[in-house]
Amino acid sequence: VEEVLAELLGYGPLEELFNDPTVREVLVAGPHAVIVRREHATWVPTPVRFRDEEHLRAALDRLATHAGAPRRG
């Protein structure tokens, strides 16, 4: 249920990272490469994965829309 809600209302697989209070920064290097920096730590890989590039783009578009960032093609 949480995964479905994250897809519909949130940022897909990134939602779990955004809800983790120890995560300070998130770096998305591709659909199968999501890295985080946690409190007092260096960058570490996560098990977070997107189905494909289209799934990743949809989540990032929602993030940009909610953040008010300009969208580019």
Strands 43-45 and 23-30: unpaired
Pairwise pLDDT comparison (27 vs 40), residue with the higher score: 27
CA neighbor of 33 nearest in space, from 16, 12, 56: 56
Which long-range contacts does 54-63 make (Cβ < 8 Å, 24+ apart)?
A: 55/12, 55/31, 56/28, 56/30, 56/31, 58/12, 59/11, 59/12, 59/13, 59/14, 60/28, 62/10, 62/11, 62/12, 63/11, 63/14
pLDDT given for residue 20 in this prediction: 93
The whole-model pTM stands at 0.75
| Average pLDDT of the chain, as a whole number | 84
Mean pLDDT in residue range 33-48: 93
